Amino acid sequence: MRMMDKTEILINPRYVIALVAIVFTIWYMRRKRYSKPLPPGPTPWPLIGNIQQFARTDIPFHKMAIMLQEKYGNIVKLHAGPATFIFLMGKETVHKATHEMNDKFKYRPNTIVVIKHFFNKGIVFSNGEVNSALRKYTLGAMREFGVYKRSLEKRIQEEAGILCQVLESKNGQPCYLMDNFKMAVSNIIAGIIYGNRFEYDDPVFKRLLSDIESLFKYASLNLPENYLPFLRFLPGSKFKKLEKHFKDLESYVRTQIEEHRATFDPENLRDFVDMFLKMEGSEDPVTTEDNLHGVIAELFNAGTDTTANTIMWGILLLITYPDTQKKLRAEILKVVGTERYIRLEDKRNMPYLRAFLNEVQRFAAVVSQTPPHTVLEDTEFEGYTIPKNSNVGFVLFTLLHDADVWGDPDNFRPERFLNEAGEYVELNKDSFIPFSAGGRSCIGKHLARMELLLFFGTLVQKFEFKAPPGADLPSLERLQSELTCYAKPYEMCAIPFSQ
């Protein structure tokens, strides 16, 4: 008897009817089970839930979140197939979940297909002792190999100098620099992890950065394949594209690990990989090669894309507000001059640069929502029941653009982080959380702050940024990839002050 292949099963009416019946039964039972008060939200369709909200391409997620918040409040429920999503918005709501009830909301789900197949190792989606041990180890390794040390400061300064040489080679002509910014930022991560850097024209480097870009493009928690897994076998599935790029990154990381293993000297630890290899022979169950690969992928992927995007936003805002650019450069020249690199210790004397970088992160809201959390049991929260195994997302955009907190959130105004004397002030700590908050805040936030200060300060020290001659100012419209908000691509002219 001939066995049917997957495609034949998917199009066979009997199997389709059976599948529909199973999904409908699950959906109906979930409706009956949760008779206690649930968060409000748009009415889900049978079987598919609120796929129409998740699948919309005309409205970016952060705008849809604001619309849902205005209609339903700070806690909103949606369904994607049989999966339940709870979105938490607003300062008080997110603060309570990440601090007062962090023990309930600190977990990550393991039911989403993309996570199970591609992100089931490492820090971001691990739980319990594995997560705690990997987080502790990674933070220790990052401190050991440079974060907040002169050695890493020098490395960032040198990379900033190389980046400036690239910009100088453009001769002030219109150019798109996002790829160069990604290369510069990624080289800092490469130095910590592998002990080396890439040349900007290295084809392997370009391919890896293309893989990272594709991960951010396709690794969506909103993919229908996450909740109707059979769809990943159909032609044109984004899941297949994601798999290709993920395997390419994984292959490169494993090759690097083997090269390190061949020259490993426990008495001379060179980088993050060496430090891990020293621990590999211990009885600690978390020090596996799979977890090492997961951590490396997370540091490269998240650190490269988000920091480079923030730099692109910052330059866009300098072009849009030339008086801000002049004021910023005047402060840098007063404190640093033109003959040396900016240092971390200069930060205390440059309140406007600190305020500017904060306002860029607030205004851009590059990470508009967190990766999903979950609860392991039905959880009472703010008068509602958060059902067990719900996917819970904290919508950071609603904090960073809360009119009740910031007054004029859609205006770019660095002065909001300065007092009347022009001194830098910490402001709205519970709302200014571009790196999230609580026990799941971004592990690379200290490195990102170093990079933003040194890279951006050096760029403003060396160049004036303008729109191309005769062109309109770049748009401030936010576009949404699957994981981040980014500026609409634009060209700029980087004019060296030496000209």
What confidence tens digit (pLDDT) does each residue in 29-41 have? 555 455 468 999 9
Average the pLDDT over 276-303 and give the result: 79
> In this model, does residue 47 exceed pLDDT 80?
no
Q: Between 480 and 471, where is the model more confident? A: 471
- C-beta of residue 220 within 8 angstroms of C-beta of residue 482: yes
> In this model, does residue 90 exceed pLDDT 90?
yes
**493-496/485-487 β-pairing:** unpaired
- Compute the distance between CA of residue 328 and CA of residue 83 in angstroms, rounded to an integer: 48
> In this model, does residue 261 exceed pLDDT 50?
yes
- Residue 18's pLDDT is 59
Instruction: Please give the structure tokens belonging to residue 479.
Output: 């576009």
Average the pLDDT over 98-103 and give the result: 94
**339-354 pLDDT, tens digit each:** 999 999 999 999 999 9
- Residue 13's pLDDT is 58
Domains and CATH numbers, the chain: 93-363+400-496 (1.10.630.10)
pLDDT category of residue 3 using cuts at 50, 70 and 90: very low
**Helix ranges restricted to H, 219-271:** 238-262
% the chain with pLDDT above 70: 89
Looking at residue 375, its amino acid is V
**170-206 pLDDT, tens digit each:** 999 999 999 999 999 999 999 998 989 999 999 999 9
**362-420 pLDDT, tens digit each:** 999 999 989 899 999 999 999 999 999 999 999 999 999 999 999 999 999 999 999 99
pLDDT category of residue 118 using cuts at 50, 70 and 90: confident
User: Does residue 358 sit in helix, strand or coil?
Assistant: helix
- Residue 246's pLDDT is 85
- Compute the distance between CA of residue 343 and CA of residue 66 in angstroms, rounded to an integer: 39
> In this model, does residue 323 exceed pLDDT 80?
yes
The 8-class DSSP code of residue 229 comes to: G
pLDDT category of residue 45 using cuts at 50, 70 and 90: confident
Mean residue pLDDT across the chain: 87
